[in-house]
Copies of this chain bind each other. A is one copy, B any other.
């Protein structure tokens, strides 16, 4: 059982704590396909999902957007002809919260469906 399955996002504010490096490293195996990147001095999770065509890209973008609204946690999504790139991080803490790993995990599940 993955550490992230069955977890939901928790409400997050500016006082929420960022994950430590050790916590991040222990969670990375649970989000296969996702890269840990630094963008504008902020740690983020990034995954490029290769799609079959534009219709598939648009559909997947909407499915991820629905998840985002349901959890009230919103990623950056780049919609292109044959790919959708998703970045998860927590704006309020300028870094990664456990929520971001939960969302990345859920995003990958949605792609497989």
The chain A residues found within 8 Å of chain B, CB to CB, are 54-55, 58, 61-62, 65, 68-69, 74, 76-81
Contact = CB atoms under 8 A, between A and B. Distances in A.
Q: How many copies of this chain sit in the oligomeric assembly?
A: 2
Nearest to A69: B54
Contact of A61 (B54, B61, B68, B80): B61
B76 A80 contact: yes
Contacts of A61: 61, 79
A80 B65 CA distance: 10
A64 to B, nearest CB: 9
A82 to B, nearest CB: 9
Nearest to A73: B81
18 contacts: A54-B65, A54-B69, A54-B74, A58-B62, A58-B65, A61-B61, A61-B79, A62-B62, A65-B79, A74-B81, A76-B78, A76-B79, A76-B80, A77-B79, A77-B80, A78-B78, A78-B79, A79-B79
